[in-house]
Amino acid sequence: MTTTDHRLTELDWLRIAAFALLMVYHLGMFYVPWDWHVKSPKTVPALEAWMSLASPWRMALVFAVSGAATGLMLARSSAASGLGERSKRLLLPLLLGMAVIVPPQPYLEVMEKVGYTGSYLDFLARYFAADGSFCRGSDCLVLPTWNHLWFLSYLWVYTVLLLAVLRWRGGAFAAHPRWAVVTQGARLLWGPCLLFAVVRLALLRDFPSTHNLVWDWFNHGLYGSMFLMGAVLFGHADDRHGAWAAAMRLRWWALGGALLLLLGMPRLLDQLGGWNQLPGWGQQLWLLLGGARHWLPVLAALGFARRWLRGRDGRSRRLLTEAVFPFYIVHQTLIVVAAHTLAPRGWPQGLEALAVLLITTAGCTVTYLVARRVSWLRPWFGLQAQRGLGSQIASGSMSTAQRNKPL
């Protein structure tokens, strides 16, 4: 098996794991006390601690892996074809999502939050008319919306910017040997932590997370940097900058540091009386320390994936890799609809959560199987529009380039 195969299989497994975590996380959002589109009538405060373990790094990992996969894609295609392929892969599902998949989410949201009693068709008319009157005080729902599909727009913008830089620098930007300085010694462990500490200190207070593409500067600083590091440091089959070797070497240190901060910082903050009880310098120090919670779990995941998942290929990986995108597109709508429908039945919460998860998984699977078989649907669900692709996957006869189109 070639190095390229090894490189792609570990990224695929990481992507599969990251989006599986995302689906479970969104299920948890129905039960945790935090605000979300729909809520369980009986929230579970104990979930906050578990959800907080994943919050700082789950999407950071997705962007880092997507950056690495994008770097590999650009290495085998021209900038023009890369942009065209990427735009089709990301923007068509985004359009379908905003027009068809996402609307049930805000419909049920306004039913629960503002007591809307109109029909779904009546709501759709207001949805596409950009009705801004669904408000709770000063908090008004922006329509149309992309909800969980915000990731696609951000990923497209970052890809366009990366392509512009590569075209400007003639490809030398990503291949420059100075990038290897970042991976020497333990710099890959602490260097990005400092970067994200500065991003948090400079942007987090003034620009909290909104998923508004033009006014989400903290998230752009975090996710854009993760995407860039993924593309430049980990987006080469030959590991030219030594990033993969460094991640594998530092994986235990990264894991230990991540667990220490993820588990210890919330507990310490509670003992200190909460955020508002910290002095000004204490809040700044807290923001700085938080930078490591974004990076260390990602570095640990990359390192352990290199160690354990390198070269682990097979039919299951190929099928799951292709299924990830359709699952991602429809999963949150299925969770919202299933949870909203089952909540009034008064089932035990464990049984209810399991039922929602099973319904969501079944719905995602059906969506994938239908989209996979209907040729005109394939590009709208992020699947490669290629004749006979399903049989190639099942037989394992696809080329590496075909079966590893990155998300």
Q: What is the 3-state secondary structure (H, E, C) of the chain?
A: CCHHHHHHHHHHHHHHHHHHHHHHHHHHHHHCCCCCCCCCCCCCCCHHHHHHHHCCCHHHHHHHHHHHHHHHHHHCCCHHHHHHHHHHHHHHHHHHHHHHHCCHHHHHHHHHHHCCCCCHHHHHHHHHCCCCCCEECCEECCCCCCHHHHHHHHHHHHHHHHHHHHHHHCCHHHHCHHHHHHHCCCHHHHHHHHHHHHHHHHHHCCCCCCCCCCCCHHHHHHHHHHHHHHHHHCCCCCCCCCHHHHHHHCHHHHHHHHHHHHHHHHHHHHHCCCHHHCCHHHHHHHHHHHHHHHHHHHHHHHHHHHHHCCCCCCHHHHHHHHHHHHHHHHHHHHHHHHHHHHHHHCCCHHHHHHHHHHHHHHHHHHHHHHHHHCCCCHHHHCCCCCCCHHHHHHHCCCCHHHHCCCC
Distance CA 352, CA 339 (A): 8
Distance CA 99, CA 105 (A): 12
Amino acid at site 270? D
* Whole-number pLDDT of residue 79: 60
Number of C-alpha atoms within 13 angstroms, CB side, residue 306?
21
Cβ neighbors of 356 (< 8 A, separation 6 or more) are 27, 30, 335, 338, 339, 342
Distance CA 296, CA 247 (A): 10
Distance CA 260, CA 271 (A): 16
Amino acid at site 164? A
Q: What is the pLDDT along the chain (407 residues), one digit of tens a residue?
A: 334 444 469 999 999 999 999 999 999 999 999 999 999 999 999 999 999 999 999 999 999 999 999 988 887 766 666 788 889 999 999 999 999 999 999 999 999 999 999 999 999 999 999 999 999 988 899 999 999 999 999 999 999 999 988 888 766 677 788 899 999 999 999 999 999 999 999 999 999 999 999 999 999 999 999 999 999 999 988 898 999 999 999 999 999 999 999 999 999 998 999 988 999 999 999 999 999 999 999 999 999 999 999 989 999 999 999 999 999 999 999 999 999 999 999 999 999 999 999 999 999 999 999 999 999 999 999 998 765 444 444 433 333 333 333 34
Predicted structure pTM score: 0.91
* Whole-number pLDDT of residue 78: 63
Number of C-alpha atoms within 13 angstroms, CB side, residue 149?
27
* Whole-number pLDDT of residue 26: 98
* Whole-number pLDDT of residue 386: 66
C-alpha pair distances (Å), 104 with each of 121, 336, 338: 11, 8, 11
Q: Of 223, 212, 208, give the one whose Cα is nearest residue 287.
A: 208
User: Phi, psi (5° rounding) for residue 136?
Assistant: -120, 100
- Give the start-to-end residue ranges of the domains of the chain: 3-102+146-403
Cβ neighbors of 380 (< 8 A, separation 6 or more) are 92, 93, 96, 371
* Whole-number pLDDT of residue 45: 95
Q: Are 289 and 265 in contact (CB under 8 A)?
A: yes
Distance CA 192, CA 230 (A): 12
